[in-house]
């Protein structure tokens, strides 16, 4: 598609439950990035993929968080045993190239709002 599609728009989970978020990048984009935005403010980089391969996972919490991008499937971000502090909006972005430019910017989806109760 022509847009980064994230589902669901809003996900509510009880503390300790699992949460799984999905992202369909723009067709033809090889790179996928996940960011976490807390309280409408700072974005925190989590992980990036080049096609189905992890490209940079330096931002991923060492526990409970995992992500995948499998061929012919939306990418996913999964959080096991969710905690209150996981409440945030999770954004996915895709790009054609790892080198961002005005011709090849990172295109963002509209995010999934995760609420942990």
Partner 1 sequence: GESVGLHLPTLSVQEGDNSIINCAYSNSASDYFIWYKQESGKGPQFIIDIRSNMDKRQGQRVTVLLNKTVKHLSLQIAATQPGDSAVYFCAETHQGGKLIFGQGTELSVKP
Indicate whether 35 belongs to the interface with partner 1 (CB under 8 A): yes
40 is written with which tokens?
A: 């409408």
DSSP-based three-state secondary structure for 84: helix
Residue 59-98 contact track with partner 1, rule CB under 8 A, x = bound: x-------------------------------x-x-x-xx
Of the pair 22, 55, the CB lying nearest partner 1 is at: 55
Query: Which residues on neighbouring strands pair with residue 44, listed in sequence order?
Result: 36
Phi, psi of 84 (to 5 degrees): -55, -40
Check: CB of residue 34 under 8 Å from CB of residue 102. Answer: no
Of residues 26, 55, 68, 78, which one binds partner 1 by CB under 8 A? 55
Least separation in angstroms between residue 31's CB and partner 1 is: 6
């Amino acid at each position: 598609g022509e847009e980064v599609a994230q589902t669901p728009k809003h996900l509510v989970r009880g503390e300790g439950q699992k949460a799984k978020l999905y992202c369909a990048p723009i067709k033809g984009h090889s790179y996928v990035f996940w960011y976490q935005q807390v309280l409408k403010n700072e974005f925190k980089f989590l992980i990036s993929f080049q096609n189905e391969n992890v490209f940079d996972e330096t931002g991923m919490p060492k526990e409970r968080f995992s992500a995948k991008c499998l061929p012919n499937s939306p990418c996913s971000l999964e959080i096991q045993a969710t905690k209150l502090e996981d409440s945030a909006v999770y954004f996915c972005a895709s790009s054609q190239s790892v080198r961002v430019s005005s011709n090849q910017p990172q295109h963002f989806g509209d995010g999934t709002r995760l609420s942990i109760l």
